[in-house]
Amino acid sequence: MDRRTFLSALGAAVWSGSRITLAGAAERGPSAAAAEAIHLTVERTSLQLGGRVRTATAVNGTVPGPVVTLREGTTARIVVANRLTVPTSVHWHGLRLPADQDGVPGLSFRGIAPGESFTYEFPVRQSGTYWYHAHSGMQEQTGLIGPLILLPSGAEIAPYDREYIVMLSDWSDEEPMKVLSNLKQESDYYNRHRQTLSAFLKETCHDGLRATIDDRLMWGQMRMSPTDIMDVTGATYTFLMNGLAPSASWTGLFEPGERVRLRFINGAAMTTFDVRLPGLELQVVAADGSAVEPVSIEEFRMGVGETYDVIVELREDRAYTIFAQAQDRSGFALGTLAPRVGMKGNVPPLDPRPVRTMSDMGMGRAAPSRALLGRPFVDNVVQAPQARLSEPGDGLTGNGRRVLVYSDLKSLSPDPDTRVPSREIEFHLTGNMQRYVWGFDGKKFSDAGPMRLALGERVRFVLVNDTMMEHPIHLHGFLFSLENGQSGRLPRKHTVQVKPAERLSFSFTADTPGYWAFHCHLMYHMDSGMFRTVLVA
């Protein structure tokens, strides 16, 4: 049995009914969690199909794990039991909570040893769409992810008739350490769309021989390829929606005329998704759990770790396709909204594959590459970083559809802290593709000490991306204000996707003491060094 057939069977077997306090996916809205503790068990699940055994890391026997539902203003008590033979952990992605409940081993938490349990207990201080995942041994790649829904203490952000969670992820039959080993040996190991002689001849006809040769030499100096959009691709990944492969196609039911809220979560390890429902307008009402003024679009990009709530009006008695294509166009996740079981919508073709240019990299054609302070973990430093919050990004710009951009996002509520930041800290996002080492400011995690912030300090982080990859940067423990020009109503997020050659900034108040993780949410980038510790004291 091939990987895709296996995943169809896997999704059908484990996702159905995998909810805590949510009785049936087609019902309108989850109910509030009971006062007693929620119990989650982490264990390996083996399935033998077609004579071959696959093994996943499951929560309560399901992949993805069950939906955990809590209510704002209550106290969560969640008992996590580890039935693995190795340590595990659960991180509550995007939540404001005490540092020792955040779930990152080695910081303010020791992890959960084999055979042991840990009780997470924290006040629920927010509402919206979030998720949980492992922070141990790359276990999120093998299945330890799940949705986390925080119900508001008051009214919902917008009226709707029913809702669905749409969790996107990626699956490989290869063990994570094997994938990482392949990348270490050859950083473009999974890139099956490299430049060809015909592409060279086409560029020569368009740009001239000298310019084309110079362009290729510059990419060679940076040890990069303009077609290397994602490190890990459909060459090994199958892209899943709610645990189901495209051949199985997850389905949610509706009655014609209903407004349906879709809670999108990018729970992938390495995949950026571009999401649309062909023929439907999407109304974005929340980003990373925080309410925003409604934005009408046709498509949006999701970095790893981000969440978006959208509302769609389903007026017609027909099936609609949920199409989430990988940014490099090596595959897609697929779902359906339909008035009746068995109905399917049309599946659009994949968009053309994006190709980077020197302009995307903040370079002119004749500009030489240079190193950041001569450090060995840096391939390149962007010479002209730009503000790109109003750009859809490579593969989306100029596609004829209305695409969400960060500058569209405007918070429904005023900025919670209007103080001017007391200081500004700049981080360069850096990498060495040949060695497959990633970091901040040319340093990997093992070579960098903690970033120290004073308790109560208002601080601005500035991010400059010196690499050719998008990086979804995640700050634990805080919601930051993305400085996107919406003065007084800056959107609050926990993860921001930084484009190549982009310079952006966000500010936050360091109001919760402890050690906090700050990292790229591309799992293999984080594991290869793009991780820092922020100490608030």
Residues 6+ apart with CB under 8 A from 441: 372, 427, 428, 430, 448
What pLDDT, on a 0 to 100 scale, did the predictor assign at position 10? 47
Residues 6+ apart with CB under 8 A from 304: 266, 268, 269, 270, 271, 272, 472, 495, 521, 522, 523
Residues 6+ apart with CB under 8 A from 342: none
Q: Which three-class secondary structure string do you get for 8-75?
A: HHHHHHHCCCCECCCCCCCCCCCCCCCCCCEEEEEEEEEEEECCEEEEEEEECCECCCCEEEEECCCE
What is the arithmetic mean of pLDDT over 99-105?
A: 97
pLDDT band at 39 (very low <50, low <70, confident <90, very high): very high
pLDDT at position 342 over 90:
yes
What pLDDT, on a 0 to 100 scale, did the predictor assign at position 27? 32
Neighbour-count burial of 365, counting CB atoms closer than 10 A to its CB (0-12 exposed, 13-18 middle, 19+ buried): middle
Other C-beta atoms lying within 10 Å of the C-beta of residue 76: 21
pLDDT band at 382 (very low <50, low <70, confident <90, very high): confident
pLDDT at position 12 over 60:
no
List the single range of 35-39, 171-175, 422-426 with lowest mean pLDDT: 35-39
Cα–Cα nearest to 141, from 478, 497, 523: 523
How many Cα atoms occupy the beta-carbon half-sphere of 27 within 13 Å?
A: 9
Fold of 406-536: Immunoglobulin-like (2.60.40)
List the single range of 165-179, 181-195, 458-472 with lowest mean pLDDT: 181-195
Cα–Cα nearest to 147, from 202, 189, 94, 198: 94
Alpha helices in 90-187 (DSSP H): 176-185
Instruction: List the beta bridge partners of residue 481.
Output: 492, 507
List the single range of 202-211, 367-376, 495-504, 511-520 with lowest mean pLDDT: 367-376
What pLDDT, on a 0 to 100 scale, did the predictor assign at position 364? 42
Distance, first Cα to last Cα, the chain = 54
Instruction: List the beta bridge partners of residue 307.
Output: 265
What pLDDT, on a 0 to 100 scale, did the predictor assign at position 54? 75
CB 80 within 8 A of CB 117: yes
Q: Are strands 237-241 and 162-172 parallel, antiparallel or unpaired?
A: antiparallel
For the packed helices 209-221 and 197-207, what is the interaxial angle rounded to 10 degrees?
Answer: 130
Quote the CATH superfamily of domain 3-155. Answer: Cupredoxins -  blue copper proteins (2.60.40.420)
**Greatest Cα-to-Cα distance within the chain, rounded to the nearest angstrom:** 71
Percent of the chain with pLDDT over 90: 75
What pLDDT, on a 0 to 100 scale, did the predictor assign at position 355? 85
List the single range of 118-132, 155-169, 256-270, 347-361 with lowest mean pLDDT: 347-361
What pLDDT, on a 0 to 100 scale, did the predictor assign at position 50? 41
Identical fold at 3-155 and 157-191+227-356?
yes
Query: pLDDT (tens digit, 9 = 90+) per residue, 287-313?
Result: 999 999 999 999 999 999 999 999 999
Domain ranges of the chain: 3-155, 157-191+227-356, 406-536
pLDDT at position 34 over 70:
no
Residues 6+ apart with CB under 8 A from 216: 195, 200
What pLDDT, on a 0 to 100 scale, did the predictor assign at position 29? 37
Query: pLDDT (tens digit, 9 = 90+) per residue, 147-162?
Result: 999 999 998 888 999 9
61, 115, 121, 227, 487 from 80: Cα distances, Å: 13, 11, 11, 42, 41
Rounded distance between C-alpha atoms, residue 144 and residue 56, angstroms: 8
User: Is the backbone peptide bond immediately before 491 cis, with ω within 30 degrees of 0?
Assistant: no
Numbers of helices and strands, H then E, in the chain: 5, 30
The DSSP string of 405-446 is -GGG--BSS--S--PPPSEEEEEEEEEETTTTEEEETTB-GG
200 compared with 518, residue with greater pLDDT = 518
What pLDDT, on a 0 to 100 scale, did the predictor assign at position 74? 96
What pLDDT, on a 0 to 100 scale, did the predictor assign at position 25? 30
Identity at 420, one-letter amino acid code: V
CB 278 within 8 A of CB 38: no
List the single range of 53-57, 211-215, 408-412 with lowest mean pLDDT: 211-215
- Residue found under tokens 């103080």: 419
What pLDDT, on a 0 to 100 scale, did the predictor assign at position 387? 96
Alpha helices in 161-288 (DSSP H): 176-185, 197-207, 209-221
What is the arithmetic mean of pLDDT over 323-350?
A: 96
- What is the Rg, in whole angstroms, of the alpha carbon atoms belonging to the chain? 22
The rounded mean pLDDT for the chain is 87
pLDDT band at 371 (very low <50, low <70, confident <90, very high): very low
What is the arithmetic mean of pLDDT over 445-463?
A: 96
What pLDDT, on a 0 to 100 scale, did the predictor assign at position 32? 42
What pLDDT, on a 0 to 100 scale, did the predictor assign at position 360? 61
Domain 157-191+227-356: give its CATH code.
2.60.40.420
For the entire predicted model, the pTM comes to 0.89
Instruction: List the beta bridge partners of residue 531.
Output: 519
Query: pLDDT (tens digit, 9 = 90+) per residue, 525-536?
Result: 999 999 999 999
Residues 6+ apart with CB under 8 A from 531: 445, 517, 518, 519, 520
What is the arithmetic mean of pLDDT over 1-28?
A: 43
29 compared with 58, residue with greater pLDDT = 58
What pLDDT, on a 0 to 100 scale, did the predictor assign at position 537? 97
Q: Sheet holding 451-453: strands in order across?
A: 451-453, 531-536, 514-520, 471-475, 495-498
pLDDT band at 172 (very low <50, low <70, confident <90, very high): very high
Instruction: List the beta bridge partners of residue 204.
Output: none
